[in-house]
Structure 1
Amino acid sequence: ISNKLRNKFPQLSAIISVTEADVAPDLKSAKVYVSVFDTDAEKGAESFKIIKENAGFIRHELAQVMHLRTVPELRFFTDESMEYGAKIDRILSGLETGKDDE
């Protein structure tokens, strides 16, 4: 799918990774969480916008590969867990290690 996105949208400069997909029990919809990695935050946001706007294309491509009776409607969300983890790491790195002087 990422190759097809890159072929259709060569302006995608970010590295895009699907980190989680939550499919509804009735298989009619799915929440897809993606991480977008780009050195330029603005380009990363534009890449995510392209993904969201082309959910139908992505769904169609999945249908071609997965051969399911129905492919869920896809809703895309940014996965900020990597950013959150990096923030926690920076906070922990900034803490002074407290050593007892015994």
Structure 2
Amino acid sequence: MESKRQQKFAGVLQQDLAAIFQREGMNFLPNTLVTITKVRVTPDLAIARVFLSFFNNTNTQQALQLVKSHSSEIRYKLGARIKDQVRVIPQLEFFVDDTNEYVERMDKIFEKISKEPRQPDDEQQ
């Protein structure tokens, strides 16, 4: 369970990282929209786990590796934005948020189930 302080700090990080990716993301991920879906922060606020969702990109693992290779640059730009609000700029760890893929997969399963003929109820004995 995250404290209010962690949640508030994670919200600030999410907004600032979203702005950074919106302005600077095209430099290292052209034609890809990057969305920050969730940010989780450790209790000491030293590590931020950032969950990303990639749109208009077929290879999410390659995109994630590209973001990880630019993590020091992203952290520097984040530091310039939040330097007056925190003592230490957190280390950034990036992960793929596959919630959308999971939802699509579940939708396909439910659609397949709904198309199958129903079995007759054998409650009468």
TM-score, normalization by structure 1? 0.81
Q: 2: distance between equivalents of 1:37 and 1:90? A: 20
3-state DSSP class of the match of 1:33?
A: strand
- In the TM superposition, 1:1-102 aligns within 5 A as 1-2=20-21, 3-6=23-26, 8-9=27-28, 11-38=29-56, 40-42=57-59, 44-67=60-83, 68-96=86-114, 98=118
CA RMSD of aligned residues (A): 2.1
**Is the strand fraction higher in 1 or 2?**
1
Q: 2: distance between equivalents of 1:100 and 1:59? A: 60
**Is the helix fraction higher in 1 or 2?**
2
Unaligned 5+ runs, structure 1: none
Higher relative contact order (CA 8 A, sep 6+): 1
Identity over aligned pairs, percent? 27
CA contact (8 A) 1:18 1:35 kept: yes
TM-score, normalization by structure 2? 0.68
Give the AA of the match of 1:37: F
Unaligned 5+ runs, structure 2: 1-19
Aligned length: 97
Q: Which runs of 4+ in 1 moved over 6 A?
A: none
Q: CA deviation at 1:91?
A: 0.6
CA contact (8 A) 1:12 1:47 kept: no
